[in-house]
């Protein structure tokens, strides 16, 4: 078993091991050895594309904590707890439960929360992701500074103009979509990879692509120079979330594309 050191919802390798752990049905990505971590940190940024998995209680096939932990075991870098209808206490409990399970199982993954800056601060999470009706980006960044919190601030955007504004206000990254047709946006036309490529070129921020992305169509997405992808149903709705995440990670590792601006390295910041 790998030796790991846990701190909140972030675990860090404390002894060198190969970058993969082999399980019964294939390779599951357990992140990097100590040497690998330093090799992949350039100005505190990842040099490869990252995989985000978002929670959705309507689409999960099993207990949410277990599903998100399985996603990390399969290769997800970040799991984002997203429950807009739940009270703060419930979101806080879920975030801390997921972090505790990752630490218990010695899985390297980072927990973000959607919208709830209060929960991110209270649980000392690795990041908060803002939506259209969340607090203003500049306000969140100001609170981050006053609280001496080291988490990342991400923002969902739907146009180049929104992405430029988020960058100007201090966002660490933006998420853009939906790229392909998806269950989350059945009535809206997908924006496509060309639109994604234009947005990637317009900002000096990591861009995460979301919406209908899976292992079969991820190559054109990564070819735009985006910093990674975020998925919901591709992992949560799968019969075996760990295997689904591993398939996505494997497809990402095979890609020859490199992020134009890579995702911030959270381990280096905490």
The CATH code for residues 4-269 is 3.20.20.70
Q: How many residues appear in the chain? A: 270
Closest by CA to 33, choosing from 43, 20, 46, is 20
The pTM score is 0.83
According to the model, what pLDDT value does residue 46 have?
A: 62
CA–CA distance, 164 with 51 (Å, rounded to integer):
23
According to the model, what pLDDT value does residue 13 have?
A: 35
- Span 198-239, pLDDT tens digits: 999 999 999 999 999 999 999 999 999 999 999 999 999 999
Q: Where are the domains of the chain?
A: 4-269
């Amino acid at each position: 078993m790998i030796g790991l050191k846990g701190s909140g919802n972030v675990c860090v390798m404390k002894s060198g091991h190969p970058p993969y752990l082999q399980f019964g049905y294939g390779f599951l990505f357990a992140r990097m050895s100590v040497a690998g971590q330093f090799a992949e940190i350039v100005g505190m940024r990842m040099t490869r594309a990252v995989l985000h998995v978002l929670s959705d209680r309507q689409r999960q096939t099993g207990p949410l904590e277990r599903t998100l932990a399985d996603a990390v075991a399969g290769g997800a870098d970040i799991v984002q707890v997203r429950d807009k209808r739940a009270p703060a206490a419930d979101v806080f409990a879920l975030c801390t439960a997921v972090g505790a399970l990752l630490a218990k199982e010695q899985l390297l993954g980072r927990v973000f929360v959607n919208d709830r800056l209060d929960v991110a601060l209270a649980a000392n999470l690795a990041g908060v992701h803002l939506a259209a009706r969340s607090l203003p980006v500049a306000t969140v960044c100001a609170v981050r500074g006053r609280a001496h919190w080291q988490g990342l601030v991400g923002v969902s955007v739907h146009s180049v103009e929104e992405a430029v504004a988020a960058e100007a206000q201090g966002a660490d990254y933006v998420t853009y979509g939906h790229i392909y047709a998806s269950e989350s946006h059945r009535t809206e036309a997908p924006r496509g990879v060309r639109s994604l490529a234009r947005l990637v070129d317009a900002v000096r921020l990591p861009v995460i692509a979301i919406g209908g992305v899976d292992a079969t169509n991820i190559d054109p997405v990564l070819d735009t120079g985006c910093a990674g992808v975020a998925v919901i149903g591709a992992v949560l709705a799968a019969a075996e979330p760990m295997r689904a995440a591993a398939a996505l990670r494997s497809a990402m590792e095979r890609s020859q594309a490199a992020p134009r601006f890579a995702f911030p390295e959270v381990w280096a910041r905490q």
